[in-house]
Structure 1
Amino acid sequence: MSGGIGAALVAGLVAGYGIAMPIGAVGAYLVQLSARSPWRTGVAAALGVASTDGVFALVAVLGGAAVAALLAPAVPVLRWVSTVVLVLLAARTVVAGLRAGGEAAAVPDAAPGRTYFSLVGLTAVNPTTVVYFVALVVGLPDRPVGAAAAVFVAAAFAASASWQLLVAGAGMALGRFVAAPPARRLTAIVSGAVMLLLAAHIGWSS
């Protein structure tokens, strides 16, 4: 493996894990969704998050500082969009949890394909993701090109996917322990409260 490819691999893994590992709004929703949905839905949700991270990594490689300058003014708007989305998700989560004891059938987005694109959209408007990759664009002193660029993007996607699948797996394991309706109601309320707190933090920072 050449030095350029090796450096791109390491940089991509660091970038992917760097954005994926902090548990924020998207991570909290992924855990809650995986806990109350079939495993295919949890996997689709995890891959939706990772796909968006991969796209941002690709933009970071190809776009350069011009993309950073283009995205930076949009961050305040994205903060408000993310706030509204989180409030709506929190409300839907609590309502779904309270109906019929929070049974999985009450989840409206259980289809894996639909869930995948829902998490792509949620991750794309998450200001933390946007800010991180704007910083990444500016901070790449030697932007990888050609095969090295492909390795960087693939490594970032793989790192994010591995972590998101781990988070989804934790949610699925949690679901086995909270199968009873009272536990489902409690976890739905707690999850909704966490999302509202995150929404308030994002909105306050706007």
Structure 2
Amino acid sequence: MSELLAPALSGAAAGLGVAMPMGAMSVLLLQEAVRERRPAVAAAAGIAAVDLGYAALATALGPWVAAHVTPAEAWIRLAASAILLTIATRGLLPTRPAPPPTNASPGAGASAGPATELGTEPGPSAGAGPGPGPGSGANAGPSAGPSAGAGAGAGRTFARYVGLTAVNPTTALYFAALTTAQGAALRAGAAGAAFVTGVALASLLWQQALVALGALAGSRISPAARTWTFRLGYGLVAAYAVKIAFPLP
């Protein structure tokens, strides 16, 4: 048992090393948690699943991964940058103030309530969160039971975050470098499994800690502060997207 402790701890350190830096995925995960916690839990599991997959692949085929990913790294970075810029743009557009309604009938104006007249940002319960995500469809009304819709939304969120995390070549190269450096120590089945398990658990715990932090903040900040938080977060995602695009292929 003691011979498996060292690779497990090494895997945990590697998992925290790739998860803790606040990159674009961390910002997006926090945004998701501010909107709604359940899809954010699925998003965190998606990120950790990719870390698990890359760690397992690198443990088994470390030198092969490094040799085949490195030549295409610049093109993969460019594709990831384009995807992140698209997400940031879609997230920023709904935060712009809506134009005043025109040709509105008196009945519609009266039913809209004071929030519409004052231009107040709708809260998360209205399903109009600033940016794409499962929370944006929450206006189906009480008759649409939460179980089926929430489950489908969590599944879509999980798949989306798996795809977004998987296009980042840095994660694959990071694990390939670590496992190649440790050489045959991780080639044994038990040691390699302990390393991968440590990576997955550490990554999942860190991502879920971010979800808890985002959900806590979302329940305490005002709608206006939440809107500015989204603007800042998606602005950081856009800046990170530009950063990873260079140097160009």
TM-score normalised by the chain length of structure 1: 0.90
Cα distance in 2 between the residues matched to 1:124 and 1:22: 17
Q: CA deviation at 1:19?
A: 0.5
- Structure 1 distance, partners of 2:71, 2:240, is 22
User: Quick one: which amino acid aligns to residue 192 of structure 2?
Assistant: A
Runs of at least 5 residues in structure 1 that lack an aligned partner in the other structure: none
Structure 1 residue aligned with 2:206: 163
Q: Find the aligned partners of 1:59 and 1:176 in 2 and give their Cα distance.
A: 39
Q: In the TM superposition, what are the counterparts of 1:14-163 in structure 2 within 5 Å?
A: 14-36=13-35, 38-98=36-96, 101=121, 103-104=123-124, 105-107=127-129, 108-110=132-134, 111-141=153-183, 142-163=185-206
Give the drift of 1:120. 0.7
TM-aligned CA deviation for residue 82 of structure 1: 1.1
Instruction: List per-residue Cα deviations over 1:16-61 (Å, max 9, x = no partner).
Output: 111111111111111111111x211111011110000000110111
Quick one: distance in 1 between partners of 2:47 and 2:95?
23
Report if aligned partners of 1:78, 1:126 keep a CA contact under 8 Å in 2: yes
2 CA distance for matches of 1:158 and 1:90?
29
Give the 4+ runs in structure 1 shifted more than 3 A: 96-100
Counterparts of 2:180 and 2:72, CA distance in 1: 16
Q: Describe the SS at the equivalent of 2:121.
A: helix
Percent identity for Structure 1 against Structure 2: 35
* 2:66 and 2:173 in contact (8 A); partners too: no
What do the CA deviations read for 1:145-194 (whole angstroms, capped 9, x no partner)? 212222111111000000010111111111112342x2232112111211
1:144 shift after superposition: 3.7
Question: Hey, what's the Cα distance between the residues in 2 that align with 1:67 and 1:185?
Answer: 41
Match of 1:12 in 2: 11
- Contact in 2 for aligned 1:8/1:151 (Cα 8 Å): yes
Aligned-partner Cα distance in 2 for 1:91–1:113: 23
Would the alpha carbon gap of residues 119 and 159 (structure 1) be closer, same or farther in structure 2, given more than 3 Å must change?
same
Q: Which has the larger share of helix?
A: 1
Identify the residue that residue 240 of structure 2 maps to in structure 1. Answer: 198
* Paired residues of 2:65 and 2:172 also in contact (CA < 8 A): no
| Cα distance, 1:102 vs structure 2 | 5.9
Which deviates more, 47-56 or 25-34? 25-34
1:183 to 201, 215, 225: 225
Alignment root-mean-square deviation, CA: 1.8
Stretches of structure 2 that go unaligned for 5 or more consecutive residues are: 99-119, 135-152
**Once the 2 structures are TM-superposed, how far is the Cα of residue 76 of structure 1 from its aligned partner?**
0.9
Does structure 2 conserve the Cα–Cα contact (< 8 Å) formed by 1:26 and 1:123?
A: yes
Larger-Rg structure: 2
Q: Which moved more, 1:136-145 or 1:114-123?
A: 136-145
Question: How far does residue 200 in structure 1 lie from its aligned partner after superposition?
Answer: 1.2
Alignment match, 2:107: none
Q: 1:192, 1:155 → 2: CA distance?
A: 31
- Cα offset for 1:123? 0.7
Deviations 1:108-147 (A, max 9, x none): 4311111111111111112332331232232222224212
